[in-house]
Each structure stands twice: as structure tokens, then as C-alpha cells.
Amino acid sequence: MKMRNSLFALLSLIFISGCQSPQNNTDDIPKLISSPDDVVNKPNGIQNIERFEQFLSNIKKGKADEVRIVHYTIEGDPILHVLEYDGDIINSTYDTRRDKYGQGSVSHTTCSSIEEVQTGEDTEYILEGCGNSEETHIFTVAK
């Protein structure tokens, strides 16, 4: 009887812990401090797109520049995407550590350019020449 109760308790504990939502430990990650230069991508649209357009213009001119894109999830968690152009290549840093339901990681890659792709009435911005990175989509501007 004791063994059966112990087995039931153990199985219940395993079942309960398996049903919990994934939670990233965000205690040691600094709070996001917004900047007026941020390009903000929320589910209802993009704010400060002019800053991103300036970044693209600087790339075409071969002028070093940096832009931070803050993507907000439906739950309101920020995902940071920093693009740094040094006059030659684009360094991309994608930080999901503040997303409670995300992977909670930081990935870095280098890319050669940004492609602007028209898809119907929308414009999609994609990093090109990035080796074997999965995060090449920057954002889509809906018209």
C-alpha cells in the first residue's frame, strides 16, 4: 500500500511539473530602457520606421550606423534586434531573454546586406548573406 501511494505521488509530481509553462529566468537580465531612437514593432504596427529608413540609407552610403529594433510579443514582452553596420558588414544580435515564452537566448550573426521585398502591398525586410542563421527576417511593414 505504501509503495502504491509513493508511486502515485511520484507520478502526480511528474505530471504536474510537465504541465507547467516554460519560464525564462529574467531576474539577472537588465530592464529594457526605451530610447527615442528605437524602432518599435508591436502587433498593431511599427513606430519610428523613419529611423530604420535612415539606417538603410546609411548602409547605401557606406556610412557606419546602428539601429535597435524592439519587437513586442502579444503578451507584451520585448525581443531586441540590434543591427550594427561598420561600413562593410552588418552585425546582427537577436536577444529573446526578456520573452517569458521564448527561447531566452542571444544569437549573433554577420550579414552582407538587407533586402527589401515587396509581397503584395507589404514590404518585408530580410537580412541577406548571413551564413547559416535562422533569424534573417527583420520585420514586415503592412500598407
- Please report the DSSP string for the chain in residue order: -HHHHHHHHHHHHHHHHHTSPP----TTSPPP---TT-EEEETTEEE-HHHHHHHHHHHHHT--EEEEEEEE-TT--EEEEEEEE-SS-EEEEEE-TT-TTS---EEEEEESEEEEEEETTEEEEEEES-TT-S--EEEEE--
C-alpha cell at 5: 501511494
pLDDT tens-digit series, residues 8-54? 444 444 444 444 444 545 557 888 989 999 999 998 899 999 999 99
Average pLDDT over residues 120-129: 94
pLDDT value at 135 more than 90:
no
Q: Which comes out higher in pLDDT, residue 33 or 133?
A: 33
> What was the pLDDT predicted at 70?
98
